[in-house]
Amino acid sequence: MAQRDARPPFAAIGGTVPPEFAALPTPCYLLDEAALTRNAKILGGLARRTGCKVLLAQKAFSNYDLYPLLAPYLAGTEASGLFEARLGAEEMPGREVHVFCAAYRADEMDELLQYADHIVFNSPAQLAKFGPKAKAAGKSVGLRINPECSTQDGHAIYDPCAPGSRLGTTRAQWDAAVTADSALPRLLDGLHFHTLCEQDANALAVTLDALAEKFGDLLAKMKWLNFGGGHHITRPGYDMATLERCIHRAQTDWGVTVYLEPGEACALNAGYLLTRVLDVVQNGDTTIAILDASAACHMPDVIEMPYRPPLLDAGEPGEKACTVRLAGPTCLAGDVIGDYSFDAVPAVGDLLVFGDMAIYTTCKNNTFNGMPLPSIYAREPNGIMREIVTFGYSDFKHRVGK
């Protein structure tokens, strides 16, 4: 599995901190409009050359104020439930809304069908329960399948093909369901798989071989095939030629419309988290800088993934003269961002700039310990900073009461 810590060194913003960064309050997120547009153009070019359709997976990036930068190049949005579906319908109007959820609530289905164009079910039981209503509403119905082909090493939490996975229907599960209910296949317009995580196209090619072996006969009867997400399409060095061959293979072999739903690739390397040093402490041989940004609250994937985010002007531990552990201010002992090396130990008040902070940050952050949510700014291509939203005490308080 291609992890984030294997990415190229942080080289955005010309390798320097623009002076206008110093005027922003910390911690704050800064979304780079030029980088978002660059990513969108890469994805749009892929769609234009191959005839595939690319969706924004909002689970990774849902800063809808920036959707107008992405919309001209995308077919629409992908949602994981009711609220994301509504957001996509409202903020990317006129585009497709695709929804997948591991299990849908009956009391949300009617409203969900107001927003969704495609709705994908995780199991034959969910397909049987809600598929007829979705079809009657004129929606395109799909089933998520599990080709039982893992292309990842470690981090089973992100591997939908790990043993015992709850995600997707195996061929054995499908065959058993059809034996019990022969009407199920007539509900299907397409199939969906999502097996990758920050991977190159070689993993997709392997997955398609498994897909052809296990589900090829079903695919020949489908209108569309959704390749899911996890494709690192906008990463430097990504094997675009292999991806395009995979798309053409599906189109040729099965006569399907191909969808991709990257989230990370839409906003990869398109945002920063600005933070300042609050204190520096020494514990034995370990120098620790405590920041006003928290891994647990503001960059939760650092702990959950885990990964070590890129930091401007910093090196690997031991690479430069001083190795320092960067940590957050919360009471969680594990609120640690990682170990970095510097030419000199950062001083209290110093500004640090983390890269690749547009994804899985603003849509996943939290107010644990009463930590304020960071403000969100946009950086226009001309360098002008624009405040999108700022948060305060009421945002913390009203999450737990009225």
**Cα separation of 232 and 42, whole Å?**
11
Q: What tokens appear for 164 in the block?
A: 């015992």
Query: What pLDDT is attached to residue 156?
Result: 73
Q: 247 by DSSP, 3-state: which?
A: helix
| Residue 246 parent element (H or E) | helix 240-254
Cβ contact 169:148 at 8 Å? no
2, 28, 36, 90, 319 from 31: Cα distances, Å: 24, 10, 8, 21, 29
Cβ contact 119:139 at 8 Å? yes
Query: What pLDDT is attached to residue 155?
Result: 67
For residues 232-258, average pLDDT: 97
- The alpha carbon of residue 140 and the mean position of all alpha carbons in its chain are separated, in whole angstroms, by 24
Query: What pLDDT is attached to residue 198?
Result: 86
Cβ neighbours for 171, distance < 8 A, ≥ 6 positions apart: 145, 148, 214, 215
**Ramachandran quadrant class, 138 (left: phi over 0; alpha: psi -120 to 50; beta: rest):** left
Phi, psi torsion values for 353, nearest 5 degrees: -125, 110
Query: Which pLDDT band, with edges at 50, 70 and 90, does 3 fall under?
Result: very low
CB atoms within 10 A of CB 317: 14
Query: What pLDDT is attached to residue 12?
Result: 61
Query: What pLDDT is attached to residue 9?
Result: 58
pLDDT over 70, % of the chain: 97
pLDDT per position as a tens digit, 107-133 = 999 999 999 999 999 999 999 999 999
For residues 4-26, average pLDDT: 74
pLDDT per position as a tens digit, 164-202 = 999 999 999 999 999 999 999 999 999 999 998 889 999
Q: 119 by DSSP, 3-state: which?
A: strand
- The alpha carbon of residue 73 and the mean position of all alpha carbons in its chain are separated, in whole angstroms, by 18
Query: What pLDDT is attached to residue 62?
Result: 98
Out of 149-158, 288-297, 331-340, least confident range: 149-158
9, 56, 81, 135, 373 from 33: Cα distances, Å: 20, 16, 27, 39, 21
CA angle 357, 360, 363 (to 5 degrees): 110
Kindly provide the residue ranges of all beta strands, DSSP E only, lying in 151-285, ordered along the sequence: 190-192, 224-226, 257-260, 271-283
Query: What pLDDT is attached to residue 11?
Result: 56
Query: What pLDDT is attached to residue 351?
Result: 97
Out of 151-155, 215-219, 240-244, 352-356, least confident range: 151-155
Query: What pLDDT is attached to residue 158?
Result: 83
- On average, the pLDDT of the chain sits at 94
Query: What pLDDT is attached to residue 4?
Result: 41
Residue type, position 170, single letter: T
Query: What pLDDT is attached to residue 305?
Result: 83
Query: What pLDDT is attached to residue 13?
Result: 73
Q: 36 by DSSP, 3-state: which?
A: helix
Chain length of the chain: 402
For residues 286-301, average pLDDT: 97
Assess whether pLDDT exceeds 90 at residue 7.
no
Cβ contact 210:138 at 8 Å? no
For residues 369-380, average pLDDT: 97
Query: What pLDDT is attached to residue 186?
Result: 97
